[in-house]
């Protein structure tokens, strides 16, 4: 090669050099530091190569991997900054969406404080979701939230993390053919737990149990929507976008007389409080509030594995099942519950699903441990 003098082995001509040898020779010629390695660096290289040998990884390969990982880390941001930036894009979110992202973001920050986003693995996210959610439905709902956050952070121009970890998180199987309901003992324990520990939650729990109203609809109720005659669900709050009026159930009237609605139907920090009530009532529900409630010994936020899972939409399904068992016409139930699945779906899920005696036991649960007179659901 013109202008380049190569130190070739004695007895060898330039023609006998293989291309890779020629390239290596040129590389050494252009990198004099490769011919003058300090002894300490040479010793480190030998030690590093020995550590990597059992793994079948070369020294240069290991260094390249480290440099790539470190480059990603330095281009990333902390979980706190990532969540704040993501939430700042939510001008078009509904109130419920904003609340859901806020709560999930707070749980991520609590689990990985100060961590660079690119260092959090999919396995860690899976464990965090499992530890901080209840049943399969709640797990899957929160999985969608985490995926949305991670995918947004992984897209250009941010590229704060890879989307690969989140791709492999698996949703949990749910059984949609059967609805879960509470027994009379479980319903009574739930309301009594709210009375004892968080009484400002009692009206919302009672409305859900005795009317079957959706939680989002309860969240949007105002005190003016509730009268002695019943509850008005505004069209803007209803899933069907149709205004409906729910006759005041007699057991609910007794509960609201004992625990009047204040400035709002659901209290401040409702999400945290209602999880705490369910957890204290004996359900497998993650709650970051119970550790702060002064129990001795202190309770952990993560529930024990042997506790039962909270059925999805348990109070709504219980209310519908009780109403049908006590004789409420299915057409009336369809309207008052705002069902959109048709009469056949309601019959399949609720008719004959609960003995009348059990339904009556739920319908007569009264405040302060009392038992109400036998009433009807109609």
CA distances from 292 to 184, 289, 295 (A): 29, 5, 8
More reliable by pLDDT, 286 or 37: 286
More reliable by pLDDT, 323 or 205: 205
Rounded Cα distance, 314 and 255, in Å: 19
Q: Which residues, including other chains, have CB under 8 Å from residue 222's CB and lie 6 or more apart?
A: 264, 265
The per-residue pLDDT for range 233-270, each reduced to its tens digit, is: 887 665 556 788 898 999 999 999 999 998 899 999 99
Mean pLDDT along residues 294-320 = 90
Assess whether pLDDT exceeds 50 at residue 1: no
Assess whether pLDDT exceeds 70 at residue 17: no
More reliable by pLDDT, 215 or 242: 215
Residues of the chain with CATH 1.10.150: 79-167
Q: What's the mean pLDDT when you consider all of the chain?
A: 82
Q: How many residues does the chain have?
A: 378
Rounded Cα distance, 231 and 317, in Å: 19
Rounded Cα distance, 60 and 67, in Å: 10
CB 117 within 8 A of CB 79: yes
What pLDDT does 115 receive?
93
| Two tokens, residue 367 | 């405040």
Question: Strand, coil or helix: what is 94?
Answer: coil
CB 301 within 8 A of CB 272: no
What pLDDT does 234 receive?
81
What pLDDT does 50 receive?
81
146 pLDDT band, cuts 50/70/90, is very high
Mean pLDDT along residues 152-173 = 86
| Two tokens, residue 372 | 């109400």
What pLDDT does 340 receive?
57
| Two tokens, residue 216 | 């989002």
Rounded Cα distance, 167 and 146, in Å: 11
DSSP 38: -
* 184-283+312-369: CATH, from 2.120.10.70, 3.40.30.10, 1.10.443.10, 1.10.357.10: 1.10.443.10
Residues of the chain with CATH 1.10.443.10: 184-283+312-369
pTM (two decimals): 0.62
| Two tokens, residue 35 | 């011919």
Q: Which fold has domain 79-167?
A: DNA polymerase; domain 1 (1.10.150)
Assess whether pLDDT exceeds 90 at residue 110: yes
14: enclosing H helix or E strand: none
Of the listed ranges 58-62, 72-76, 161-165, 198-202, the one predicted with least confidence: 72-76
Rounded Cα distance, 149 and 375, in Å: 49
Question: Strand, coil or helix: what is 368?
Answer: helix
Torsion of CA 18, 24, 27, 33, to 10 degrees: -150
Mean pLDDT along residues 53-66 = 75
**CA 354, 357, 363, 368 torsion: positive or negative?**
negative
CB 180 within 8 A of CB 311: yes
189 pLDDT band, cuts 50/70/90, is very high
Task: Give DSSP secondary structure letters for 258-323.
Answer: HS---S-SSPTTHHHHHHHHHHHTT-----SSGGGS--SSPPPSSPPTTSPPPPTTHHHHHHHHHH
166 pLDDT band, cuts 50/70/90, is confident
Assess whether pLDDT exceeds 90 at residue 150: yes
């Amino acid at each position: 090669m013109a202008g380049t003098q190569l130190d070739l082995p004695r007895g060898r001509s330039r023609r006998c050099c293989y291309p890779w040898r020629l390239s290596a020779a040129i590389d050494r010629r252009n990198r004099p530091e490769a011919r003058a390695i300090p002894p300490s660096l040479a010793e480190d290289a030998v030690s590093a190569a020995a550590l990597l040998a059992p793994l079948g990884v070369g020294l240069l390969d290991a260094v390249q991997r480290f440099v790539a990982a470190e480059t990603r880390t330095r281009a990333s941001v902390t979980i706190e900054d990532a969540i704040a930036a993501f939430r700042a894009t939510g001008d078009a979110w509904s109130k419920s969406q904003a609340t859901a992202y806020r709560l999930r973001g707070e749980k991520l920050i609590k689990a990985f404080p100060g961590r660079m986003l690119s260092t959090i693995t999919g396995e860690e996210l899976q464990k965090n979701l499992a530890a901080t959610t209840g049943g399969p439905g709640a797990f899957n709902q929160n999985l969608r939230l985490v995926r949305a956050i991670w995918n947004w952070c992984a897209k250009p121009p941010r590229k704060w993390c890879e989307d690969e970890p989140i791709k492999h998180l698996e949703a949990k199987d749910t059984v949609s053919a059967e609805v879960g309901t509470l027994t009379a003992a479980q319903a009574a324990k739930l309301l009594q737990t709210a009375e004892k520990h968080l009484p400002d939650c009692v009206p919302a729990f009672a409305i859900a149990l005795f009317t079957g109203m959706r939680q989002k609809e309860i969240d949007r109720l105002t005190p003016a929507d509730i009268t002695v005659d019943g509850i008005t669900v505004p069209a803007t709050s209803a899933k069907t976008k149709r205004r409906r009026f729910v006759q005041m159930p007699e057991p609910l009237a007794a509960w609201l007389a004992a625990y009047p609605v204040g400035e709002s139907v659901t209290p401040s920090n409702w999400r945290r409080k209602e999880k705490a009530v369910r957890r204290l009532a004996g359900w497998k529900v993650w709650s970051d509030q119970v550790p702060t409630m002064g129990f001795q010994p202190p309770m952990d936020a993560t529930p024990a594995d042997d506790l039962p899972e909270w059925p999805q939409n348990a109070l709504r399904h219980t209310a519908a099942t009780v109403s049908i068992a006590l004789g409420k016409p299915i057409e009336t139930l369809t309207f008052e519950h705002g069902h959109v699945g048709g009469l056949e779906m309601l019959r399949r899920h609720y008719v004959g699903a609960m003995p009348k005696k059990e339904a009556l036991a739920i319908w007569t649960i009264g405040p302060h441990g009392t038992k109400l007179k036998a009433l009807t659901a109609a």
